[in-house]
C-alpha cells in the first residue's frame, strides 16, 4: 500500500489527506494544532500532533517510508522549507508544496521539490478560460499553450460522427472521450462512427489556439 505524508491540515491539506485516504492509501497527517488533527482522526490512517519541521519527529513516525509528501503550511515559507529539507534528509523525493505567491514558488523550486501548487492561481486561470465562452465547461492545462478542455457539443456537430467531423485533420485537435450527462456514461476513445448527441460533453485535447478556433467556428 502506498503511503503519503500530509503536513498542515488547513483547508487544502485536509482535503488532500481525506481524498488520498478515501482512495485506500496509508495517510499520515501532521499539524501543530490538536483540533485540526482531531477533526481528521477517522479520515486518515494516523493523525500526529507535532512540528513537521522536526526531523526527529518525522523519523520517529516513519515519514521517511512515504512514497510522497504534501506540505501545506499556508504562507509560512520558513516552515515549508524546513519541512522539505527534513523530508529530503529522510529520503522522501516526491514532495509537493502548496504556495501562496509566485515568490514562494520560486524559493521552494530552488530546493528541488517535485511541484509547487498554487490553488488560487490555478482556479482563477481555469475560470478565466471558461468565462468568455458558453461552450468551454472546464480547462485543464497540459503544457504551455496546450490543454484538455470540456466542451458542450456545438449544435452544428449534432448527429455527425467523429469520422465525419475529421477534427484532427481539419483543426489539429482530438476528442479523447465523450461524457453523456444523461446516463453518466464515459466513452473513452469513442467509436469514430458514433453520432454526437446533445447530451454529450466532448473532452478535447490540443493546443489552446486550435481549440479556440474550433469553439469560435462552432458558435
pLDDT for the residue 195: 92
| Whole-number percent of the chain with pLDDT over 90 | 58
Q: Classify domain 3-119 at the CATH topology level.
A: Rossmann fold (3.40.50)
Distance CA 64, CA 215 (A): 48
Is the confidence at residue 136, as pLDDT, over 80?
no
Top pLDDT among 113 and 130 is at: 113
pLDDT of amino acid 131: 60
Domain ranges for the chain: 3-119, 128-218
Superfamily the domain 128-218 falls into: Regulator of K+ conductance, C-terminal domain (3.30.70.1450)
Amino acid at each position: 500500500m502506498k503511503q503519503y505524508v500530509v503536513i498542515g491540515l488547513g483547508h487544502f491539506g485536509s482535503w488532500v489527506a481525506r481524498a488520498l485516504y478515501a482512495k485506500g492509501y496509508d495517510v499520515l497527517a501532521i499539524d501543530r494544532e490538536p483540533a485540526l488533527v482531531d477533526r481528521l482522526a477517522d479520515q486518515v490512517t494516523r493523525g500526529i500532533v507535532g512540528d513537521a519541521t522536526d526531523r526527529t519527529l518525522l523519523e520517529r513516525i516513519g515519514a521517511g517510508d512515504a512514497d510522497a509528501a504534501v506540505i501545506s503550511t499556508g504562507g509560512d515559507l520558513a516552515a515549508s522549507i524546513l519541512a522539505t529539507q527534513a523530508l529530503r534528509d529522510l529520503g522522501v523525493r516526491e514532495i509537493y508544496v502548496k504556495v501562496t505567491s509566485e515568490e514562494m514558488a520560486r524559493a521552494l523550486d530552488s530546493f528541488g521539490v517535485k511541484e509547487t501548487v498554487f490553488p488560487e492561481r490555478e482556479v482563477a486561470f481555469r475560470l478565466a478560460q471558461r468565462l468568455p465562452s458558453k461552450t468551454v465547461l472546464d480547462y485543464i492545462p497540459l503544457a504551455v499553450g496546450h490543454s484538455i478542455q470540456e466542451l458542450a457539443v456545438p449544435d452544428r456537430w449534432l448527429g455527425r460522427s467523429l469520422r465525419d467531423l475529421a477534427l484532427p485533420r481539419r483543426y489539429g485537435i482530438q476528442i479523447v472521450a465523450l461524457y453523456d450527462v444523461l446516463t453518466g456514461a464515459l466513452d473513452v476513445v469513442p467509436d469514430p462512427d458514433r453520432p454526437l448527441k446533445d447530451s454529450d460533453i466532448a473532452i478535447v485535447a490540443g493546443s489552446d489556439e486550435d481549440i479556440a478556433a474550433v469553439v469560435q467556428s462552432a458558435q
